[in-house]
Amino acid sequence: MTSTQVNGNVPAFLNENPKDRIVVLGVPLPLLERVGLFVLLAAVVVLPMVYDGYDIYEFGKILMYMLAVLGLNLLTGFNGQFSLGHSAFFAVGAYSTAIMMDQLGMPYWTTIIPAAAVCFVAGFLFGLPALRLDGLFLALATFALAIATPQLLKYDGIAHLTGGVQGIVLDTPYPPAWIDSIVMSITGEELSVDRWKYMFTAFVAVIMFAGAWNLVHSRTGRALIAIRDNPLSAKTMGINLAMFKSSAFGVSAMYTGVAGSLFAIMDEYLAPESFTFAEAIKFLVGGVVGGIASLFGAIFGGWFVLEIPNIADLVASSLADYINNPQGLTGLIYGLFLIFTVYVMPMGAAGLVQILVHRISTKR
């Protein structure tokens, strides 16, 4: 029996996604979203042709943070579970990649998938006890996880793998010869490592973003949202709460973990101090300011958390006569933006866009 036969018995309007009926300036909303996606994709492809060096490195970092924030959004925004400890999964991904490269001599590009698997398992396992903790208590448990992580990474017992306090220095991810030769034949110049790092990151990020897009718009995604909105009725509808919630934790950890892998590859170095609670705060800031229940929001969030320290530096340098400790400025701005978002636009930047779209749209 195909789905059309089943749907043939219900009135047409029940079959339609209400979103399909919204028209913005003469263009249906779903079409607009799709066009938006392709414009973004085109931008991602064009960027390395225009920029090089530190600029393109920064764009890669934005995509990396976008993935990390996306992981948190999938968990908190779409499934309603809180985590203040995603820096821990970020660390698991980064260290998995680093140890595979450093100890097993694996090439950097082969480590992404195994690292993703490790993070999924780690997240799934942490999700199991998390099932019994709701809301606030889960926040507390993950808060404890984030605080304990840096100390755990420094532990002498595993220092032969993790490099202890010193961390691990990794090989530079050079582009494969065949890609280099293709680029050479087209542009006539060698592909720089910075550009290649970006291209590799972008490749992984686009695939994972598409995966998240499909997940959220699928039956599974609707189940996750149902659990967030009303766990009891979700259960009544036959959704296996335990399975979905711990899997959501696993998938979320996987996204943030892959971001960690990319972080290790891009920076060619990692140490426990990169995985403190401050990092978890960063993800939360990105998620909340971008819009926690939105995929597009993660892109904005990734840009936001990377750009704020730069803006803070700019402010500090212009006020250099009055400010002695500019490092403090970033956290202050993060905090102010968090409170501002909670007060003024609880759905984040994505919610703001949604409201604007609603204002200028007409119903078909």
Partner 1 sequence: MDLFIEQTVSGLATGAIYACLALAVVMIYQAIDHFNFAQGEMAMFSTYIAWYLMDDAGLGLPFWVAFVACIVLSFIGGAAIERIVFAPISDAPVLSHIIVFIALFSMFNSLAGFLFDFTPKNFETPFGHTPFIDGVISSHRVGMIAVTLILLGLIYAFFRFTPIGLAMRAAAASPESARLVGVRVGFMLALGWGLAASVGAVAGMLIAPITFLTPDMMLGTLLYGFAGAVVGGLTSPLGAVIGGFMVGILENWMGTFVVGSQLKLTVALVLIIVVLLVKPAGLLGRVVVKRV
Q: How far is the CB of 84 from partner 1 (least distance, A)?
A: 7
Q: Which is nearer to partner 1, 168 or 285 (CB)?
A: 285
Least distance between partner 1 and beta carbon 40 (Å): 27
What count of residues does the chain have?
364
* DSSP code string of 203-256: HHHHHHHHHHHHHHTSHHHHHHHHHHH-HHHHHHTT--HHHHHHHHHHHHHHHH
Footprint of partner 1 on this chain (CB under 8 A)? 76, 82, 84, 129, 132-133, 135-137, 139-141, 143-145, 147-148, 151-152, 154-156, 232, 277-278, 281, 284-285, 288, 292, 323-325, 327-332, 334-336, 338-339, 341-343, 346
- Residue 269 tokens, joined: 């170095």
Shortest Cβ distance from residue 355 to partner 1 (Å)?
Answer: 18
CB-based contacts of 209: which residues, under 8 Å, 6+ apart? 66, 67, 70, 295
To the nearest whole angstrom, how small is the minimum distance from the Cβ of residue 80 to partner 1?
9
Q: Which is nearer to partner 1, 24 or 125 (CB)?
A: 125
Report the residue number, 176 or 231, with the smaller CB distance to partner 1: 231
**Which among 242, 258, 220, 252 is positioned nearest to 142, based on CA atoms?**
252
Kindly state the smallest distance separating residue 220's Cβ from partner 1, in Å.
Answer: 22
Measured from the CB atom, the residue of 156 and 189 that comes closer to partner 1 is: 156
Minimum CB distance to partner 1, residue 358 (Å) = 21
Report the b/e string of 171-196 with b at 16+ CB within 10 A: eebebeeeeeeebeeeeeeebeebbb
- CB neighbours of residue 250 within 10 Å: 23
Q: Which is nearer to partner 1, 141 or 193 (CB)?
A: 141
Report the residue number, 82 or 200, with the smaller CB distance to partner 1: 82
Q: What is the 3-state secondary structure (H, E, C) of 245-261?
A: HHHHHHHHHHHHHHHHH
Residues with Cβ within 8 Å of residue 13, at least 6 apart in sequence: none
